[in-house]
Amino acid sequence: MSDFNTAESVVTQSSKAEYENSINLSQHLPQAKIISEMVLDAFQSTRESDQIRELRAAIRQAHDSFDDDKAYELMGELKALKDAEAADLAALEDLSSKFSIGRILSSFKDDPAFQEIVYGLALKVLNQTHQAISNPGGGKGKAAKKKEVEIFTISKDGTSVTLPLRTPRSRLNVDREALEFLGFTFVGEGDEAELESETFLDNAGTEQAVNRKNIITALQQKTAFDGYSIAAQ
């Protein structure tokens, strides 16, 4: 079993290196890059549990009300919850050391939650591919500009900020001003700043991972962030 896992890890590392080299090549159209990054986002975006998000909000409210006792109590609950989730993560890591990822995924193929992830991703790929094929000329001019980052202007009530469509590996706190303009909250300062919540709800009530592509797509399709507008520079 361990030999199989080792071989699988080598293949994954090789594919990862090949992908990261390919994603920066200018011959790949922006639409193709967007679709590939969307697939990675679906599986690599970390999501806080609803309980942790609710506790963070309650702690913030307690601080705003200068209720130190309540904030201290809630912070204790938050630590206990984080410890429990850390234990869950350790159990999952132990499971992955005993079984291949293919074996684990196949055991979840009929699970409704897993199917929601898989079919939701398939639907996004279907829609994005259809859009790319229907508008093949939309990215040709941009593809000629090697490694140029697309920049978008987000506006509301006469105020505007810019949001570059950076690689998903770029930390979100680099664009803190734009995200705070959209209503997101950061905890901490400078390079250590982290988003208070790693998801947002669209107008249909669906939870979306907070990343630049999802935010820009939601603004363009008007599926979230009511009152804001977006335009490519």
What residue numbers bound the domain in which 64 lies? 50-98
Q: Which of 98, 119, 136 is the last residue of a domain?
A: 98
31 in any annotated domain: no
Q: Check whether residue 92 and residue 158 sit in a common domain.
A: no
122 in any annotated domain: no
Across the range 181-201, mean pLDDT stands at 88
Overall domain count for the chain = 2
Q: Taking the model in full, what pTM does it have?
A: 0.42
- What tokens does 90 get? 């350790």
The CA distance from 197 to 183, in Å, is: 11
Tens of pLDDT, residues 100-123: 877 877 887 788 887 887 888 888
Q: Check whether residue 87 and residue 160 sit in a common domain.
A: no
190 in any annotated domain: yes
Helix, strand, coil tally for the chain in percent (to 5): 60, 10, 25
Percentage of the chain beyond pLDDT 90 is 20
Per-residue confidence (pLDDT) for residue 46, from 0 to 100: 52
The CA distance from 77 to 158, in Å, is: 42
143 in any annotated domain: no
Q: Which of 98, 132, 158 is the last residue of a domain?
A: 98
Per-residue confidence (pLDDT) for residue 144, from 0 to 100: 42
179 in any annotated domain: yes
Tens of pLDDT, residues 21-73: 777 665 677 777 778 777 777 676 555 567 777 888 888 888 888 888 888 88
Per-residue confidence (pLDDT) for residue 14, from 0 to 100: 66
pLDDT, greater one: 11 or 130: 130
The CA distance from 197 to 96, in Å, is: 27
203 in any annotated domain: yes
Tens of pLDDT, residues 139-174: 444 444 445 788 999 999 999 999 998 877 778 989
Helix (H, G, I), strand (E, B) or coil at 224: coil
pLDDT bucket at 12, cuts 50 / 70 / 90: very low
Which secondary structure element, helix H or strand E, spans residue 93, and what is its range? Answer: helix 68-98
Taking 60 as the threshold, does the pLDDT of residue 181 lie above it?
Answer: yes
200 in any annotated domain: yes
Per-residue confidence (pLDDT) for residue 137, from 0 to 100: 61
How far are the Cα atoms of 51, 71, 118, 169, 176 from residue 19, in angstroms, in the given order?
Answer: 35, 45, 21, 13, 28
8 in any annotated domain: no
